[in-house]
Structure 1
């Protein structure tokens, strides 16, 4: 909404504000992905076993995974809170930029947290890729207590992507806008 207002009045924002918005968006994205990971894990199997994953068990290796996800969420929420005022529904964005800039101490804290989070995120990504590949390689899966054959094309599509940016978005104010309505116009 803030960017829509800025675009309507052709308001350019400072580069520091753009960077803070990017940091906020990435923190929210990481927080959201970690939440989705913990929510979808019970649908999948531990690679190489017939055991479905219970993310709330005290048994290893699942306990380590759950702790990693919790830490990723904590890191992301903290970075989001520092950059956006609050992680969920941030209050720091304003038309024309951001309400507050970050202190040097806050920048250092975000940097240190991001370094820690990067290691955890890579480990989590590798695990989720292994879990998903294991799932796709199965002939049958258990769904609601029934054995169901696994479609080989599950998760695949041949549609284009609507995203205008890898993590943030593009507007008419961008130096090189990546939004092109003609890419998405459907003529029947």
Structure 2
């Protein structure tokens, strides 16, 4: 006869998630639904009418895990609305700040999945010690380039508020070299753990398309030209059904009418050169492995940026207070995948704003990827995507589980 299994809240992830799994008599998931239970904050609404400089500061408060990606995507959306560009040094520092965030965030995800793959307490402790040192270095990079380890106030419209000096540059190079030594040991440890895992082969397989705009930083023009023409969105009640979707608090973004995966595997599959199949094939363990490869790539790029950076060069372009209401789309590749912000600016103020963080794309994918295996493995799948559920939740107005103002979330509605 089959039944429905509900897992809520999910564990070892950021924010509050919920699985509603339709299973057969053996517990195999036939239809998977994953959704956000986080309360809506309404960022897009309260940005309207505010000074454009407020948007990067506000949207970086979506969450405390990857604020630089929101500040960057927000700034670039406004820059593209104003038709200005940061100086080369400003662009390099932005990228370096975001690399620092990846080098903090990717190891953190390993802590969340660690009990899934490593059972020995002593090995867990040794692993966490390495991870915490890696995270500290990643946050230091964000602190000196972005102004703070968390919310990075130096990321501004027009570039970066200030450059670093030569002593800091040398210290960052030393820190990245230290990071590499620790990461080499940690990545080898995690690869061995994944190899020995009892996770079912193929867990998380799906036939969905993937989306990415760059292997590291993100390119707004790629999203705008390749993907945005096919963008649409549907309400959760239309996607999950009335009974299930009424509890969900994010809309479902689509490309060409289909849900789409974003993140480490998508980036490596599209842009990785000679990347082994173990990082791009199907399955949730592959996503975990892909993060290990991304750490290596980001260390190399961080060192390259520091070697290129001129510490006396200007880092910011004065944006002025112009703007004609043109739509600007800013994209940054967050640790979890493609992060899209859109803005319209008129006379220095926000007239319209919208964002589609990485987890917003992946929420429906997680449900789909849980299908075909026993429901006990659903959270293994979810944790592989490392969902940042708070980042994804700011689109639907709800009250006691009921939608109270559908018009502000209808696809294409300009007031959203």
TM-score by length of 1: 0.76
Find out whether 1:114 has 2:184 as its counterpart: no
Aligned to 2:154: 92
Aligned to 2:256: 186
Query: C-alpha distance in 2, partners of 1:187/1:73?
Result: 38
Find out whether 1:9 has 2:82 as its counterpart: yes
- Cα deviation code 1:81-135 (max 9, x no counterpart): 0111112111011111100110111111111101111121222222212111211
Aligned to 1:171: 220
Residues 1-188 of structure 1: matches in 2 within 5 Å?
1-45=74-118, 52-54=119-121, 59=122, 61-135=123-197, 138=198, 150-172=199-221, 177=222, 179=224, 180-181=226-227, 185-187=255-257
The higher relative CO (CA closer than 8 Å, separation ≥ 6) is in: 2
Query: C-alpha distance in 2, partners of 1:159/1:124?
Result: 31
Q: CA deviation at 1:160?
A: 3.0
Query: C-alpha distance in 2, partners of 1:166/1:69?
Result: 23
**CA-atom RMSD in angstroms:** 2.0
- Cα deviation code 1:132-170 (max 9, x no counterpart): 1211xx3xxxxxxxxxxx532114334332221112111
**Structure 2: which 5+ runs fail to align?**
1-73, 232-254, 259-416
Query: C-alpha distance in 1, partners of 2:77/2:134?
Result: 31
Indicate conservation of the 8 Å contact 1:41/1:53, yes or no: no
Q: CA deviation at 1:38?
A: 1.4
4+ runs deviating over 4 angstroms: none
CA 122–156 in structure 1, closer or farther in 2 if over 3 Å, else same: farther
Query: C-alpha distance in 2, partners of 1:39/1:53?
Result: 15
User: Which has a greater percent of strand?
Assistant: 2
Q: CA deviation at 1:34?
A: 1.4
Pairs aligned (count): 160
CA 123–159 in structure 1, closer or farther in 2 if over 3 Å, else same: farther
